[in-house]
Structure 1
Amino acid sequence: MQVTTLSIQNIHNHGELFAELLRARHRTFIEQAQWDLPQADGMEFDQYDTPASRWVAVHEFGRVLAGVRLTPTTHRCGIYSYMIRDAQRCLLDDIPPGIIDRPAPVAPHIWESSRVFVSDEVPAKMRMRVQMQLIGEMVKSARALGATSVLGLIPASSPRLARRVGLDCRPAGPVTWIGGANAVCVDIPMATKMH
């Protein structure tokens, strides 16, 4: 099993990995969760997949097992910035503006994690290992980018799982029904986690 952080600068070194990541997101979010998201050629993408983002992929033998996208909270592309802030600014139809309980931050040391998934093809006996690999690389990459904190919108049941894999997810908003499930915005401090 390998873990890779992709960026626009290194994407050419990894063959089809980025396309496979977007295909895995398509299977997870469009085919299985039935979310109405942009897609092309069996790949899911949106306005936050820009050169400013990074993508973490856990993969094995060309198959993507899990992934997450990291986006700086300082980034802007047209009218968009990052998902949680754009929801608060009423730019997104599917996420209510009250998802975060404070003004969404814009700071170079705060990044957003989004499109977090573990493929349903990952056997139960491997899931914890895959999740640990994904979270470990996300933290390592976020720290390398200068992040001291990561904001994320996660399933409401995930903070318990996060503690099991070494993350301290602090609620940053109310539990809200989004995309067919309860979700919560969390703040994840990077300074003391995953040594």
Structure 2
Amino acid sequence: MTCVHVITHANRHFYEESLEQFHRLRHQIFVEERGWSGLRQPDGLEVDAYDNQHAVYLLAIDAGRLVGGQRLYPTLLPHMISEVFPHLAQLGVPQAADILEWTRYFVVKERRTGRTDCRLLAAMQEFCLGEGITEVTAVVEMWWLPRWQQAGFKVRPLGLPQLIEGQPCIAAAVEISQASLEHVRKLAGLRGASLIRNGLSSRIHQVPHVAA
């Protein structure tokens, strides 16, 4: 059975193999499949500056095999939209203790027609609700917008679309709500809480210190 595990700096020692799978699959999907050539690495692992002690990973694992994943990161710290894609957020870059950035989302190819996608979307909403997060921001290809709408997510654009790696992309903010969680749970046939918090307390979110 597929379960979504919450992984932070505090419990990553339980998940070193799964995290290596995550970085290897990121390279396979974002570089080799989607053609993001700027991320190519000779070791076949896609790791960036935001894979650090502040990152939270929600990984879908089935019998020890990683089948999907995503990353959440504090927006009070320098993050991908503020540092790499500020030009996509013409309406401003949302930065607050209750806003996280949502990146590196994927489902392995053979699971994209099943329930794994909805499990991961539900996991994101469930985790954020439990942590007091009200919104997540992301840069995505335009085809994500109808996908999010189908999942019951409320989305607001942060600017106009622009081409990235030959694809029209947009910066957007997604509302965190119980209604969105219940909608996507229904799509996936999920009942109740589904996150595995191995070695973690019930609430882990800490606002990082930012120097004045």
TM-score (ref. length: structure 1): 0.84
Give how far 1:60 is off. 1.5
For normalisation by structure 2, the TM-score amounts to 0.77
What is the aligned counterpart of 2:63 among 61, 68, 72? Answer: 61
Corresponding position of 2:191: none
Within 1, Cα distance between the matches of 2:59 and 2:166? Answer: 25
Is 2:80 aligned against 1:83?
Answer: yes
C-alpha contact (below 8 Å) 2:125/2:177 kept by paired residues:
no
| C-alpha distance in 2 between matches for 1:158 and 1:67 | 16
Instruction: Give the Å deviation of 1:117.
Output: 1.5
Aligned equivalent of 1:107? 96
Matches within 5 A, 1:104-143: 104-122=93-111, 124=113, 126=114, 129-143=115-129
Paired residue for 1:92? none
Query: What SS is found at the alignment partner of 1:66?
Result: strand
1:180 and 2:170 equivalent?
A: no
CA contact (8 A) 1:71 1:112 kept: yes
Deviation at residue 137 of structure 1 after TM alignment: 0.8
C-alpha separation in 2, matches of 1:154 and 1:140: 21
Gaps of 5+ in 2: 183-212
Deviations 1:108-142 (A, max 9, x none): 01110011122223253x1xx11111111111222
Q: Please give the secondary structure, in 1, of the residue aligned with 2:61.
A: strand
Please give the secondary structure, in 2, of the residue aligned with 1:101: coil
Instruction: Decide whether the 8 Å contact of 1:38 with 1:45 is kept in 2.
Output: no
Query: 1:180–1:109: structure 2 CA closer, same or farther, 3 Å change rule?
Result: same
Q: Which amino acid in 2 is paired with 1:59? A: I
Alpha-carbon distance between aligned partners in 2 of 1:56 and 1:31, rounded to the nearest angstrom? 22
1:38, 1:147 → 2: CA distance?
32
Alignment-mate amino acid for residue 143 of structure 1:
L
Match of 1:164 in 2: 150
Deviation readout 1:18-77 (Å, 9 max, x if unpaired): 1111111111112212222164632111001111111111122332222111000012xx
What runs of 5+ residues in structure 1 fail to find an aligned partner? 76-80, 88-94
Which stretch of the first structure deviates more once superposed, 161-170 or 105-114?
Answer: 161-170
Query: What is the rounded CA distance, in whole Å, between the counterparts of 2:40 and 2:79 in structure 1?
Result: 16
The yes-or-no answer on 1:155 pairing with 2:148 is: no
How many residue pairs match? The answer is: 179
Letter in 1 for 2:52: T
Q: Is the 8 A contact 2:92 2:158 kept in 1?
A: no
2:10 aligned partner: 9
Query: Which amino acid in 1 is paired with 2:150?
Result: R
Displaced runs of 4 or more, over 4 A: none
- CA pair 47-23 structure 1, distance change in 2 beyond 3 A: same
More contact order relative to length (CA 8 Å, sep ≥ 6) = 2
Displacement after TM superposition at 1:15 (Å): 4.7
In the TM superposition, residue 12 of structure 1 has moved relative to its aligned partner by 1.6
For residues 43 and 128 of structure 2, what CA distance do their matches in structure 1 show? 30
